[in-house]
Amino acid sequence: MNTRMITASAMIFALGASSAMAADVKLSGLVFGQYARHLSQTDTAGVSSKNRGEFGITRIYMNAEAKFSPKVKGKVVLESNTTQTTDTGHGSNSVFLKQAFGDYMVNDYANVQFGLVGTPWIGFEEGIWGRRFISKVFIDSEGVVSSADKGVGVLLKIPNDFGDFHAAHVNGEGTTAVEKTGKNGRHKDSMARLTLSPMVKFEPLSGLKLHGYIHNGRAQDGDNYLRDRVMGGVSYQHKRFHAMVSSFKARTGAGVKNTRSKGYSLHGSLKLPLSLSAFSRYDFYDPDTETSSDGRARTLWGVDYKVAEGVRISVNDQIVRQQLATNTSANENRLFFQLEMKF
C-alpha cells in the first residue's frame, strides 16, 4: 500500500473518529479480489498467455457518508486497485477520488447533488446486475459513459413507486480528467435517465421496469467532437431472479469524424438453494458501425456463493470473441475465482 493511500485512508478514518463533528458520519468499505487463469492461447491483444495466472485486488472502495441534518448529507468515495485483469485497462495501486458531493433533499421526492457526482445510468444498472466484483456493467466496461463526473445532479422519485428520474449536467471529462482549457472549457455534457414501473401495483409483474437514457455533449469546439449517446432497456426483478436487456447507440468525435458505435447487453441471475446463485451475461460491442467485422462479443457465466453477510465468492468463465480475430485483436478465455467483502 503506497504512501498516498495510507494518507488518504487515515484522513477518512480520522474524519469519522472525530467526536467533535456536527455530522453523523458512517464509514464503510468494499474490497474485490481475484485469481484469473488464462485458458486460451492468447489474450485479447494477441499476446501468448496460455496457463498464465494472476492474483489481483481489482478494486478497493473506502466510503464516508455524513448526515448534517435530515435534509443535508455528504459522501466521499476513494478508490484504488492493483493490476486490473477483469476489464480493459491496468491499475498501478494508485488512489483517486471516485465521488465527493453534497446532497440536499428538497422534499420526499427530490434531491439535488453537487460535486463529483454519480452519473444516471451505471450505478443504477449495477444495482440490477448486482455483481460489480465480477465485472463492470457493459457500457462502463467499454467506456461508453463515465460512472461519475464533476457537476450537478437532480434525482426525482415518481409518486407511488411508479419510477424515478435522474439528470446530471457535468464537465463531461469523467472522474479524473480536468476540464478543457480556454474557450473549449465552456462545453458541458447533459444526461438523463427515466425509469418507469408501469405494473408496480400488479403482481406478479411489479418488478417490470422500462428504462430510457439520453446524453448530449461536446468535447470542444467543432462539429466532429460530439459525445452523444442514447440507450434503452427493460428489466425484471424478483426476489428469486433478475433479467435485463439494454442497448445503446453513440456518436463520439475526436476531430476527424464522429464515429458511430452501438451495442447491447443481456444479463440474468437465479438464486439457488444453499446460498448459491447462478448468473450469465452476453455483451456485443461494435466500436465503429462503418467498419466491417470490428465488433466483439463477451460471454460471462458462473456461480456465486454467499459465505457470510457481506462476503461472496464466485467461480466464472469469461470469453471474448472477435468478429474477425487478428494478431492484435484475438479471442480470449479466462477462468476467474473472485471475492467480494463489504464492511
What is the DSSP annotation of 13-40? HHHHH-TT-SSEEEEEEEEEEEEEEE-S
Residue pair 103/286 in contact (Cβ under 8 Å)? The answer is no
Query: How far apart (Å, rounded) are the C-alpha atoms in residues 337 and 134?
Result: 9
What is the per-residue pLDDT for 132?
A: 97
Over 70: is that where the pLDDT of 329 sits? yes
Q: Which residues contact 242 (CB under 8 A, 6 or more apart)?
A: 128, 130, 235, 236, 268, 269
- What is the CA angle 325-46-264, rounded to 5? 50
How do residues 77-132 score in pLDDT, each as one tens digit? Answer: 999 977 554 444 445 678 899 999 999 999 999 999 999 999 999 999 999 999 99
The Cα–Cα gap between 128 and 134 comes to 14
Quickly state the pLDDT bin for 177 (edges 50, 70, 90): confident
pLDDT recorded at residue 149: 97
Q: Give the pLDDT of residue 16.
A: 52
pTM of the model: 0.89
Q: Residue 14 pLDDT more than 60?
A: no
End-to-end CA distance of the chain: 19
- What is residue 182's DSSP assignment? G
Q: How many CA atoms lie within 13 A of 203 on its CB side?
A: 2
Judge whether 214 and 230 are in contact, CB under 8 Å. Answer: yes
Between CA 213 and CA 307 the distance in angstroms is 36
pLDDT above 90 (res 6)? no
Q: What is the pLDDT of residues 135-163, one digit of tens each?
A: 999 999 999 999 999 999 999 999 999 99
Most confident of 21-30, 87-96, 322-331: 322-331
- pLDDT tens sequence across 214-240: 999 999 998 999 999 999 999 999 999
Least Cα distance to 176 among 150, 201, 152, 215 occurs for: 150
Q: Is the omega angle on the peptide bond into residue 198 within 30 degrees of 0, that is, cis?
A: no
* Structure confidence by residue, pLDDT tens digits, 233-269: 999 999 999 999 999 999 999 899 999 999 999 999 9
Mean pLDDT within 23-52: 95
**Cβ-contact 76, 12 below 8 angstroms:** yes
pLDDT digits (tens, 9 = 90+) for 267-283: 999 999 999 999 999 99
Distance CA 110, CA 117 (A): 16
CB 173 within 8 A of CB 179: yes
Q: Which residue intervals of the chain are DSSP H helices?
A: 3-17, 122-129, 138-141
Give me the pLDDT at residue 87, please: 45
What is the reported pLDDT for 19? 42
| Coil, strand or helix at 109 | coil
pLDDT at position 5: 47
DSSP 186: G
**Per-residue confidence (pLDDT) for residue 1, from 0 to 100:** 45
Q: Which residues, in sequence order, are bridge partners of residue 6? A: none
Q: According to the model, what pLDDT value does residue 77 have?
A: 97
> How far apart are alpha carbons 94 and 81 in whole angstroms?
7
Residue 20 pLDDT > 90? no
The amino acid at residue 123 is G
DSSP state of 160: G
For the chain, what percent of residues have pLDDT higher than 90?
83
Amino acid 180 reads K
